[in-house]
Amino acid sequence: MLTISRSGPTIAEVIAEIRDVPARMLPYAASTALTRVARYAAQIELPAEMRKVFSSPTPYTLNALRIEPAKKDSLRARVMVKNQAGGVAPENYLQPEVEGGMRKHKRAENAMRYAGVLRADQYAMPGPALSLDAAGNVKGAEVQTILAALKGIRGGVGAKGQRAGRGRKLANDLFVGKPIGGDRPEGIWRREGKRLRALFVFTSSAPDYSRRLDFDGVVQRVALDRFRPEFEKAVASLAGRGNWQ
């Protein structure tokens, strides 16, 4: 889980600089300010940064963040990636963009392993014959059609590959394995007349990501820029609600 909390000396210094604030009010004002800062980072600044560093991020990616509000006795707010019960968990593809390194196996790759066409040490990379959506991502419906066709060959394929036994539309055109002749790699291929076009190419080299999304830096910057004004607004709002002396 990607998390970031903002507390520490800078916040303590801000609080110390503000005079004439009743001591009982301070934790309430600080927790309110921290929560607002976290919400602004998750809803405004981080999505804006994603638009800068990613090519056409989908609404699903831009809305992948949530916050954990601060409490008066902890004074820590968190910005984190949402947990998803189904589909592709945003954490799986955002974490490599934040921390760098190898990506996790995708759900489609796990399905290919279950079908017996992808080894445990292999990754499936999109081939040129795979359709992409307007954002440049693989179309989920096409992947599902391919996976449905692969169910007919559970148990593995030979060294020369074989056709899927069942499945809709693509079933009779699907070829899994390494094409005979040439140096074409293992993968999932589609027959188009006398041609073979790659839908997925199998590789033993894990996709390696460089850091692109400065998650921590964006949240820290927002905290430094916005905590004081949000704290002062919270103090003013609380002061009008009752006796804090």
Residue 27 contacts residue 12 (beta carbons within 8 Å) = no
Spell out, as residue ranges, where the chain has pLDDT lower than 70.
1-12, 15-16, 19, 84-89, 134-137, 152-172, 242-245
Which residues, listed in sequence order, are joined to residue 198 by a DSSP beta bridge?
189
In the block, tokens 């990506």 appear at 103
Give the pLDDT confidence score for residue 164 in this predicted structure.
42
Distance, C-alpha 86 to centroid of its chain: 14
3-state helix, strand and coil shares in percent for the chain, rounded to the nearest 5: 40, 15, 40
**pTM as predicted:** 0.68
Domain-by-domain residue ranges, the chain?
Answer: 13-101+209-240, 107-203
**Is the distance from CB of 85 to CB of 40 less than 8 angstroms?**
no
pLDDT recorded at residue 244: 62
